[in-house]
Structure 1
Amino acid sequence: MSIHECKLIKLPKISDPRGNLTFIEGQNHIPFDIQRVYYLYDVPGGAERGGHAHKALQQLIIAISGSFDIHLDDGKERKTIHLNRGYDGLLVPNMIWREIDNFSSAAVCLVMASERYDEADYYRDYDEFVRATQQKNLSV
């Protein structure tokens, strides 16, 4: 995978004077069925989240409230995406290292995942992740 496959997805936004509504449908707005949803909140100032990659799992990451930065790395290239709108989702395919930081006050990070939790799907050591990406590139 390449960081160029990470992309911002504009989600539907239904504007209403009583408040806006955004919805997400698996296999419609995102290319997978949603198997797990979780969210990060009350992240202390200066803290980082993430620091891993997934072997198979894909994610859609949304700043439901506030803002934060997502640093993406495919083992060769890096880029940073700033999320701050509840109708923008960042699609992160498998084999992309991600770190999340710069959380604003009261930020809420919502994550929709293509798979249920499985510790065996994680790369938690960056050097091991890079070795795996290099091996995949050699076998292609």
Structure 2
Amino acid sequence: MDDVFVHAHGICESRQVGSGTRIWAFAHVLPGAKIGKNCNICDNVFIENDVVIGDDVTIKCGVQIWDGLRIGDKVFIGPNATFTNDIFPRSKEYPEAFAQTRIGDGASIGANATILPGLQIGAKAMIGAGAVVTKNVPPNAIVTGNPATISGYVNISREKVRSFTAGAPDLQSVTEPVSLHVGGAMLYPLPRFSDMRGELSPIDFGKDLPFKPTRHFLVFNVPGGKVRGEHAHKVCAQFLMVIRGKVSIVLDDGNDTCEVSLDSPSAGVYLPPSVWGIQYKFTHDAILSVYASHPYDPEDYIRSYEEYLSYIPNKCMQG
């Protein structure tokens, strides 16, 4: 504790505080709390007993960290963010155990955000100011609003968002597969014929797609704000196209990320194995058509982003 700074008007009863941590005025840390190295606990912060806080965490003024909170490394918690740990709170009535809420490494919680009990906030997720979070938040997701919904993903800059709109020049100019610079993912143009009777977009499995499909399924009637995908495959490749409405597709290979917005069956996205895929921003009428290179196999899925990040270097060594 010699390397821990506690302001003259702060109280730190815990002996489990890492070196370099600073605890400022009118903050109060109870005896059971565990706090890592190089943290910054600002004025008027209260930290209860059953709390674990990682290294390099910043907690701004006016925040209460209640029993059950598990906070990873390099997390930022903005001023007056509110955490809860009891689903049905009553005065003088206590649950057998408080719900655990986990904040992943590198996540940021905006000012005045409210986090309901027992949720998982994924690594590097960004919770917008004033958001009311009622569901688990995936890694890298940006959530805003009340109730909070996913509005984007971090590490996707404006130039990495490509929108291909029916009839627009950007789609009409695509005549050959275009690299999306994420793990071998490609945008494939598809034939399209139009006359006074309507439009036709045929697919020749042996010519127009990057593989011969063994399975096909549709995703539709997705409620607003809901997210599909959030997994990678070890072996199976997929080809995704929108036959109605509009859908955004996020591709992530652990290093690079991009987002493609489609609203036409004139082009589709080739999603290779070992690339993390997410589909979101479904319009109410959207129908997403997916062709798969292999039959369904639950063992082929990687559903945890943390597991995926561990899998990629092992895959490279095997390859």
Give the TM-score normalised by structure 2: 0.42
Structure 2 counterpart of 1:102: 281
8 A Cα contact 2:183 2:272, kept in partner: no
After TM superposition, the structure 1 stretch with the greater mean CA deviation from structure 2, 107-116 or 25-34, is 25-34
Moved over 4 A (4+): none
Q: C-alpha displacement at 1:138, in angstroms?
A: 3.9
Q: C-alpha displacement at 1:139, in angstroms?
A: 4.6
Counterpart code for 1:34: P
Match among 2, 19, 34 for residue 213 of structure 2: 34
Q: C-alpha displacement at 1:4, in angstroms?
A: 4.9
| 3-state SS of paired residue (1:20) | strand
Match among 255, 265, 276 for residue 76 of structure 1: 255
Structure 1 counterpart of 2:292: 113
Q: Which runs of 5+ in 2 are unaligned?
A: 1-180
Structure 1 counterpart of 2:227: 48
Q: C-alpha displacement at 1:3, in angstroms?
A: 1.2
| 3-state SS of paired residue (2:200) | coil
| 3-state SS of paired residue (2:226) | coil
CA distance in 2, matches of 1:33, 1:137: 25
Q: C-alpha displacement at 1:71, in angstroms?
A: 0.8
CA distance in 2, matches of 1:9, 1:60: 9
Counterpart code for 2:301: Y
| 3-state SS of paired residue (2:194) | coil
8 A Cα contact 2:233 2:274, kept in partner: yes
CA distance in 1, matches of 2:184, 2:199: 29
Higher RCO (CA 8 Å, separation ≥ 6 residues): 1
| 3-state SS of paired residue (1:136) | helix
Identity of aligned residues (%): 34
| 3-state SS of paired residue (2:283) | coil
| Deviation readout 1:74-117 (Å, 9 max, x if unpaired) | 11111111111111111111111011100112000000111111
CA distance in 2, matches of 1:118, 1:40: 18
CA distance in 2, matches of 1:139, 1:29: 30
Structure 1 counterpart of 2:22: none
Aligned length, in residue pairs:
139
CA distance in 2, matches of 1:114, 1:14: 26
Structure 1 counterpart of 2:237: 58
CA distance in 2, matches of 1:14, 1:68: 22
Structure 2 counterpart of 1:23: 202
Q: C-alpha displacement at 1:41, in angstroms?
A: 0.6
Give the TM-score normalised by structure 1: 0.93
Structure 1 counterpart of 2:303: 124
Structure 2 counterpart of 1:12: 191
CA distance in 2, matches of 1:49, 1:20: 29
CA distance in 2, matches of 1:37, 1:29: 15
| 3-state SS of paired residue (1:133) | helix
Q: Which runs of 5+ in 1 are unaligned?
A: none
